[in-house]
Structure 1
Amino acid sequence: MTDATKPTIVLVHGAWADGSSWDAVTRALQAQGYPVLVPPNLLRGLADDAAYIASFLAQRTSGPVVLVGHSYGGAVITNAGASSPNVRALVFVNAFMPDEGETVVDLVGPSGSALAVEDPTTIFDIAGYPGAPEGVAEVFLKPEVVHASFAPDLDEASRWTIVASQRPASLIANVTPSGPPAWRVLPSWAVIGTDDKVIPVGLLRHMAERAGSTVTEVAASHVSMVSHPDVSVQAILAAAASV
Structure 2
Amino acid sequence: MPDSKPTIVLVHGAWADASSWNAVITPLQAEGYTVLAPPNELRSLDGDAAYIASFLAQRTSGPVVLVGHSYGGAVITNAGLGGGDVRALVYIDAFIPDEGETVVGLLAGTGATLDVPDPTTVLDVAGYPGAPEGAAEAFLKPDTVHNAFAQDLPEADRWLIVATQRPASFVANVTPSGTPAWKTIPSWAVLGTEDRVIPIALQRRMAERAGATVTEVDASHVSMVSHPDVTIDAIRAAAASVG
TM range (shorter): over 0.9
Ranges in structure 2 where 5+ consecutive residues have no aligned partner? none
Equivalence map 1:150-169=2 (5 Å): 150-169=149-168
Tell me the equivalent position of 1:173. 172
2:78 is matched with which residue?
Answer: 79
Partner of 1:55: 54
Mapped pair 1:3 → 2:18: no
1:139 aligned counterpart, secondary structure: strand
Deviations 1:126-157 (A, max 9, x none): 01111100111100000000000000000000
Partner of 1:53, secondary structure, is helix
State how far apart, in whole Å, the 2-side matches of 1:36 and 1:111 are. 34
1:162-201 C-alpha deviation (Å, 9 max, x unpaired): 0000000001000000000000000000000000000000
Unaligned segments of structure 1, at least 5 residues: none
CA–CA distance in structure 2, aligned partners of residues 33 and 109 of structure 1 = 42
If the length of structure 1 is used for normalisation, what is the TM-score?
Answer: 0.99
The alpha carbon displacement at 1:85 in A equals: 4.6
| Mapped partners of 2:26, 2:109: distance in 1 | 37
Aligned to 1:185: 184
Alignment match, 1:231: 230
Aligned mates of 1:57, 1:199 — CA distance in 2: 27
Corresponding residue number in structure 2 for 1:144: 143
Letter matched to residue 185 of structure 1: T
Counterparts of 1:130 and 1:242 in 2: how far apart (Å)?
44
2:141, 2:80 → 1: CA distance?
32
Runs of at least 4 residues off by over 3 Å: none
Amino acid corresponding to residue 187 of structure 2 in structure 1: S
Give the superposition deviation at 1:84: 2.5
SS at structure 1 position matched to 2:188: strand
Counterpart-to-counterpart distance in 2, 1:110 and 1:124? 18
1:31 corresponds to: 30
Distance in 1 separating the partners of 2:109 and 2:73: 19
> How far is 1:23 from its partner?
0.1
Identity across the alignment (%): 72
Report the count of equivalent residues: 242
